[in-house]
């Protein structure tokens, strides 16, 4: 069936358009998603927050300040207020070489709007952001996906740094493929690498049991690759994840040499702001 087809397809290399083709157009707007589709992305990556009136909003940051002409927390604004914001002009101002008139005034989007437009024509790689801030987000998300038939059509992966959020999703619908995100950065006491989520220890010390604990609920792991110019994972990490039945989808890879290096390590997909660069390599 379609869900099994999705799992089979995940065994092949996946181009995950990070916030859409967000290197070319303002992240999480129609131009970014349209360009990602044209560039051959397998998945559109969406980050979710909620409006004050409970709408699922596609935006990365907790706050509006960086990517819109509004300010303050997303969750303090109603849908109507959020839809009135300009989520495109900031891009033209900060990337003058890639600016396009059409980007000015681009709207923030709801998950419903994105699904209404693309349905099961695309696949969605949806991140639950700040689940502690939005305790009702998981249920609202799963209900939406089920109502639209997008789980059965094999159209969705759900990712989070929060193991708790992923487990909530699975309690609601155990068919949705999950990916555990991890972030490796140096420990403050200088003892090595650490991470935000409490899911895995230092990759140099990670054991099969650690990977298995993730494989109990997830199909894959999504790590960062570099911190402050230094690699935090290596080919051995990818191999050990594979040996434990986990896919590896590193984020966020925009440099072509870096993409090639990770392809050589055998990763199963990458998050990138430049899907065109990655599709040029994997064709």
By C-beta, is 17 or 208 nearer to ligand G3P? Answer: 17
By C-beta, is 5 or 168 nearer to ligand G3P? Answer: 168
* Secondary structure of residue 166 in the 3-state scheme: helix
Between CA 236 and CA 205 the distance in angstroms is 11
Tokens for 163, please give them: 């193991």
Residue 28 backbone zone (phi > 0: left; psi -120 to 50: alpha; other: beta):
left
| Interface positions with ligand G3P (CB under 6 A) | 18, 45, 47, 60, 127, 159, 181, 222, 251-252, 271
Q: How far is CA 179 from the centre of its chain?
A: 9
Is residue 281 within 8 Å of 27, Cβ to Cβ? no
By C-beta, is 46 or 151 nearer to Ca ion? Answer: 46
Q: Which residues contact 81 (CB under 8 A, 6 or more apart)?
A: 70
Tokens for 22, please give them: 């967000």
95 is a catalytic site residue: no
Which of 24, 28, 49, 60 is catalytic? The answer is 60
195 binds, among ligand G3P, Ca ion, none (CB under 5 to 8 A by kind): none
By C-beta, is 1 or 228 nearer to ligand G3P? Answer: 228
Q: By CB under 5 A, is residue 268 in contact with Ca ion?
A: no
Between CA 279 and CA 275 the distance in angstroms is 6
Q: By CB under 5 A, is residue 127 in contact with Ca ion?
A: yes
Quick count: other Cβ atoms within 10 Å of Cβ 53? Answer: 11
Closest approach of ligand G3P to the CB of residue 126, in Å: 9
Closest approach of Ca ion to the CB of residue 47, in Å: 5
49 is a catalytic site residue: no
Closest approach of ligand G3P to the CB of residue 222, in Å: 6
Closest approach of ligand G3P to the CB of residue 129, in Å: 7
Q: Which residues bind Ca ion (CB under 5 A)?
A: 47, 127
């Amino acid at each position: 069936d379609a869900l099994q087809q999705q799992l089979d397809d995940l065994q092949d290399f996946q181009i995950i358009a990070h916030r859409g083709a967000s290197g070319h157009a303002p992240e999480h707007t129609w131009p970014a998603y349209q360009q990602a589709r044209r560039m051959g992305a397998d998945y559109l990556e969406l980050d979710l927050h909620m409006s004050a009136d409970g709408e699922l909003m596609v935006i990365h940051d907790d706050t509006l300040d960086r990517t819109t002409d509004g300010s303050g927390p997303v969750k303090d604004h109603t849908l109507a207020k959020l839809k009135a914001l300009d989520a495109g002009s900031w891009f033209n101002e900060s990337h003058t070489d890639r600016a396009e008139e059409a980007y000015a005034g681009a709207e923030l989007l709801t998950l419903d709007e994105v699904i209404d437009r693309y349905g099961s024509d695309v696949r969605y790689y949806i991140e639950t952001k700040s689940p502690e801030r939005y305790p009702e987000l998981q249920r609202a998300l799963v209900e939406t996906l089920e109502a639209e038939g997008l789980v059965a059509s094999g159209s969705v992966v759900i990712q989070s740094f929060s193991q708790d959020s992923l487990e909530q999703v699975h309690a609601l619908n155990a068919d949705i493929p999950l990916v555990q995100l991890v972030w490796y950065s140096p420990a403050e006491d200088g003892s090595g690498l650490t991470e935000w989520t409490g899911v895995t220890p230092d990759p140099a010390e990670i054991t099969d049991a650690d990977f298995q604990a993730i494989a109990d609920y997830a199909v894959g792991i999504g790590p960062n690759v570099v911190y402050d110019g230094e690699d935090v994972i290596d080919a051995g990490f990818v191999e050990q994840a594979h040996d434990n039945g986990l896919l590896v989808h590193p984020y966020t890879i925009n440099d072509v040499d870096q993409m090639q290096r990770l392809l050589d390590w055998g990763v199963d997909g990458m998050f990138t702001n430049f899907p065109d660069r990655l599709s040029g390599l994997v064709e």
